[in-house]
């Protein structure tokens, strides 16, 4: 019934003419576009362009700026093609280092103080973008009467290179800067700065867990397929991989790497020496990821993560066949056991520890997989959370989907997520109960 009501409102609002809407912030005036019942603002800067001397540096505040046209999509961070593109489809987006942008979808720039959900995309810290059509927040904002924010952050070496003595994990600092920007400005977009939920998938989910180990500005989180079982890369290994990487670029110092063409940084990710060093690690993890740098995160990391579970109410879960999406992995018992080790068991443990600490915690498992080759693989929940099935046309993971099944799952998933975003139960008993979507 909720989904039927949503589509009825959508049809009713189609008659509304598109119009521009301007909002004045401390940094200046920004103009978005209203389409039906939702107004979107695209490409808003939450930090200065991280170029030149700011490449590899922590994000810097954005200053006053001329009036900004926020009706066009933001560039995503420069990146290589995703290794999951054969499963979930590919995207075509402008890439630029001036990527510290966010997009906002709101039912109204008024004084309603709606709950806010900030989306952090996945992509193994190497690919993706919060401004992609996959994550268009229109439907979630309209149906949930909430403000949706999608964040772009720095990827691969630009965001996660580790050079001892230099600030590490700047991609995570990007995300924290985006959250601060939201809290400072979201009231101008009809949102409540005191009611913010962070939502992330895969690398984005892990990053939320990392934020909770620091000084988070939020108390509610949705973690979808967060790779909690892999954890942080330790200091020595991260420094070794970064040394090999910089050698592959031809740079002797970080200063020299700052002036290289970004194409040289991307090419170095695929250098034979870099691939060999990554293989020698034997951890089957991404080339770049959060690092125990001994400043933001210190060894041992376990006590920090034990504190993290106490700091937020959580809705978290995993897909039944997580690993089937990854190249070279078949959908079988062995891959399911590996997915359980990396995603399933750590998610359930986080929920149980959070509940023990007095937080609310709910667990889900996404088990719908229409294509028997991939099953309910990593990322298959994303089209249903945002309700953007049409933007995943051609995704192999959805081949064979019965349209009625898809619509039902959008209804069930969005109903649960929206309830949580509004500070209520998603509709089932808390941990250790697992709600299965199938």
State the 10-residue block means of pLDDT for the chain, 438 residues long.
47 59 95 96 98 97 94 95 92 95 97 96 96 96 98 98 96 98 98 98 98 96 96 95 96 94 97 96 91 94 95 98 94 94 96 97 98 97 96 94 95 98 97 97
Number of domains into which the chain is organized? 1
Within-domain flag for 53: yes
Burial of 394 (0-12, 13-18, 19+ CB in 10 A): exposed
Please give the Cα distance from 20 to 41 (Å, whole number): 10
The CATH number given to whatever domain includes residue 122 is 3.40.50.1820
Within-domain flag for 383: yes
Within-domain flag for 13: no
Within-domain flag for 262: no
Identify the pLDDT of residue 393: 87
User: Which range of residues forms the domain containing residue 430?
Assistant: 40-59+70-230+297-437
Within-domain flag for 45: yes
Identify the pLDDT of residue 18: 76
Burial of 341 (0-12, 13-18, 19+ CB in 10 A): middle
Within-domain flag for 291: no
Identify the pLDDT of residue 276: 96
Paired sense of beta strands 19-25 and 28-35, if any: antiparallel
Within-domain flag for 205: yes
Phi-psi region of 124 (alpha: psi -120 to 50; beta: other; left: phi over 0): left
Residue pair 43/70 in contact (Cβ under 8 Å)? The answer is: yes
Within-domain flag for 256: no
Whole-prediction pTM value?
0.94
Identify the pLDDT of residue 205: 98
Angle at 377 between CA 375 and CA 88, to 5 degrees: 105
Cis peptide before 235 (omega within 30 of 0): no
Instruction: Find all residues with CB under 8 Å of 12, minimum gap 6, and list them.
Output: none
């Amino acid at each position: 019934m909720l989904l039927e009501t949503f589509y009825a409102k959508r049809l009713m609002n189609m008659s509304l003419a598109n119009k521009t809407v301007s909002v004045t912030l401390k940094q200046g005036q920004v103009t978005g576009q209203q389409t039906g019942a939702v107004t979107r603002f695209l490409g808003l800067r939450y930090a200065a362009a991280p170029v030149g001397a700011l490449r590899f540096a922590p994000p810097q505040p954005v200053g006053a700026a001329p009036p900004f046209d926020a009706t066009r999509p933001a560039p995503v961070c420069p990146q290589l093609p995703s290794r999951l593109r054969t499963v979930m489809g590919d995207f075509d987006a402008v890439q630029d280092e001036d990527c510290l942008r966010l997009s906002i979808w709101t039912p109204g720039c008024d004084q309603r103080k709606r709950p806010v959900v900030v989306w952090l995309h996945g992509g193994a810290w190497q690919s993706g973008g919060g401004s992609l059509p996959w994550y268009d927040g229109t439907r979630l904002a309209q149906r949930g009467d909430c403000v949706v924010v999608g964040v772009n952050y720095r990827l691969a070496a630009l965001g996660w290179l580790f050079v001892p003595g230099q600030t590490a994990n700047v991609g995570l600092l990007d995300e924290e800067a985006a959250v601060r920007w939201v809290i400072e400005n979201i009231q101008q977009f009809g949102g409540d700065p005191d009611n913010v939920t962070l939502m992330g998938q895969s690398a984005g989910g892990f990053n939320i867990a990392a934020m909770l180990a620091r000084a988070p500005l939020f108390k509610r989180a949705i973690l979808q397929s967060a790779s909690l079982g892999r954890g942080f890369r330790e200091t020595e290994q991260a420094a070794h991989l970064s040394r090999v990487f910089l050698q592959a670029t031809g740079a002797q110092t970080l200063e020299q790497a700052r002036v290289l063409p970004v194409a040289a940084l991307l090419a170095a990710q695929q250098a034979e020496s870099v691939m060999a060093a990554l293989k020698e690690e034997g951890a089957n993890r991404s080339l770049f990821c959060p690092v125990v740098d001994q400043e933001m995160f210190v060894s041992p990391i376990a006590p920090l993560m034990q504190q993290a579970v106490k700091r937020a109410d959580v809705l978290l879960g995993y897909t039944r066949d997580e690993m089937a999406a990854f190249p070279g992995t078949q959908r079988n018992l062995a891959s399911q056991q590996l997915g359980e080790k990396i995603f399933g068991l750590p998610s359930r443990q986080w929920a149980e520890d959070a509940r023990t600490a007095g937080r609310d915690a709910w667990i889900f498992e996404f088990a719908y997989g229409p294509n028997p080759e991939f099953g309910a693989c990593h990322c298959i929940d994303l089209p249903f959370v945002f309700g953007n099935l049409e933007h995943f046309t051609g995704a192999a993971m959805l081949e064979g989907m019965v349209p009625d099944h898809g619509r039902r799952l959008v209804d069930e998933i969005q109903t649960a997520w929206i309830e949580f975003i509004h500070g209520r139960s998603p509709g089932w008993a808390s941990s250790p109960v697992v709600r299965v979507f199938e």
